[in-house]
Structure 1
């Protein structure tokens, strides 16, 4: 169980580091600097110290997405499943649609099965959940996901989580959509904004796929994922190697 929680926690670690860097700009300063002390503890990976400080800070800034998000991250490392689920659900409901916080919260809840009625729309693309949002467009991406596990032939991947991530300095900058494949390995992003994206299966860590795609306005792109366009064969966003 500990290894399972550790693996899930790693999925949000990179996002947590970026969050710490900008959180002080999002949360009002507290008289006792409790939030600052909590973030300093998180920077040291001292989750046991950070969590109670964040619980103390939240009543002074109850609408702070940053504080709830940070407490959820601490709870994942401390294996406090109920608290992590509760805080990530709060983040999913209050964070800006398509934001990093909402994407990480949605992914964690899906992976742990922490869905409730309040997060019932978790498996649908962000745009589909909020049709009044400016991130809703008239384009789409669909396809089939297949993979060959060791010793097996190529077969559809069901319930595979996929992400569309907008590219910086383009019309899709800051946009993120997530969805899972169905039982036949099919997926479909609907009502997304046209433009270039990174299509991948992970937020952090080693991907199976990492492709650059461009979606035309009012059209539906077809992108099948399989061994022939995996990151081992084609990686459109290679990470820089050691200097």
Structure 2
């Protein structure tokens, strides 16, 4: 009996390997339009890993397409592939139309990345990043729990390692300030040493966001903001224009 199961497992693994090789071969030989359609479908489903792989293939076929480099940069940013995201956003800065949304998002991401080398144009126009751990940065705190319910789940579940951004708003005392933090294994997050004032609380600097909330942080106080399906961007979107704050 054991030898029979071993044989079945071996057959399954060989078949799966053949299927993967066939799929990869079809993807590599597919027309650029098919690759782009598949990539954007994966992107819409938030399957960043699959989308990034497809966009890379599409870029090799049409290397001068700004939209492809931009979409690849967004996927790479969601996957925390900082070097690749920086490289693609820098390409967008160099080739996209000045003042376009792609250029604005690329410039903001590169400024927010801080330690990632940026092009001279980005460095000149970007606000200096603020270290959230700098005790001189501020005296306020923003904390809460991140929860989400995927299709089929009856209740929101904690999201661990979720990257969140607190972004200062234009024409306010917080303009140019950025804070980043990840939720812990229980979905809890905490921004510390925050300068008081208005902010956008979001989970995405570029691309589709699950949350886009405007909050006001009072001086020397703690602000509690839980993030879940009840205040998601589909229910409450305080920045519907999706442009720079």
TM-score normalised by structure 1 residue count: 0.53
Aligned to 1:217: 219
Unpaired runs of 5+ residues, structure 1, are: 21-38, 45-68, 74-86, 103-124
Q: Give the alignment partner of residue 91 of structure 1, picking from 84, 100, 117.
A: 117
Q: Deviations over 1:47-67 (max 9, x none)?
A: xxxxxxxxxxxxxxxxxxxxx
Secondary structure, in 3 states, of the residue corresponding to 1:127? coil
- Separation of aligned partners in 2, 1:2 and 1:149: 19
Count residues with an aligned counterpart. 151
Q: Deviations over 1:140-185 (max 9, x none)?
A: 1000010001111311000001000000111100101010000000
Secondary structure, in 3 states, of the residue corresponding to 2:192? strand
Task: Sort the Cα spacing of 1:237 and 1:17 in 2 relative to 1 into closer, same or farther, 3 A.
Answer: farther
Q: Is structure 2 residue 180 aligned with structure 1 residue 127?
A: no
CA shift, 1:90, in A, is 4.9
Secondary structure, in 3 states, of the residue corresponding to 1:204? coil
Secondary structure, in 3 states, of the residue corresponding to 1:164? strand
Aligned to 1:24: none
Q: 8 Å contact 1:158–1:185 — kept in the other structure?
A: yes
Task: Sort the Cα spacing of 1:185 and 1:8 in 2 relative to 1 into closer, same or farther, 3 A.
Answer: farther
Aligned to 2:73: 9
Secondary structure, in 3 states, of the residue corresponding to 1:211? strand
Q: 8 Å contact 2:158–2:186 — kept in the other structure?
A: yes
Secondary structure, in 3 states, of the residue corresponding to 1:214? strand
CA shift, 1:88, in A, is 7.9
Aligned to 1:198: 200
- Separation of aligned partners in 2, 1:197 and 1:18: 29
CA shift, 1:206, in A, is 1.1
Q: 8 Å contact 1:140–1:191 — kept in the other structure?
A: yes
Aligned to 2:96: 43
Secondary structure, in 3 states, of the residue corresponding to 2:186? coil
RMSD: 3.7
Q: 8 Å contact 1:166–1:173 — kept in the other structure?
A: yes
Unpaired runs of 5+ residues, structure 2, are: 1-48, 56-70, 78-84, 98-105
- Separation of aligned partners in 1, 2:127 and 2:91: 10
Q: Deviations over 1:114-134 (max 9, x none)?
A: xxxxxxxxxxx8321x445xx
Describe how 1:1-243 pairs up with structure 2 within 5 A.
3-4=51-52, 6=55, 9-10=73-74, 11=77, 16=89, 20=93, 39=94, 42-43=95-96, 89-91=115-117, 126-128=131-133, 130-131=134-135, 136-152=137-153, 153-239=155-241
Q: Deviations over 1:33-84 (max 9, x none)?
A: xxxxxx3xx339xxxxxxxxxxxxxxxxxxxxxxxx99xx8xxxxxxxxxxx
TM-score normalised by structure 2 residue count: 0.52
Q: 8 Å contact 1:197–1:213 — kept in the other structure?
A: yes
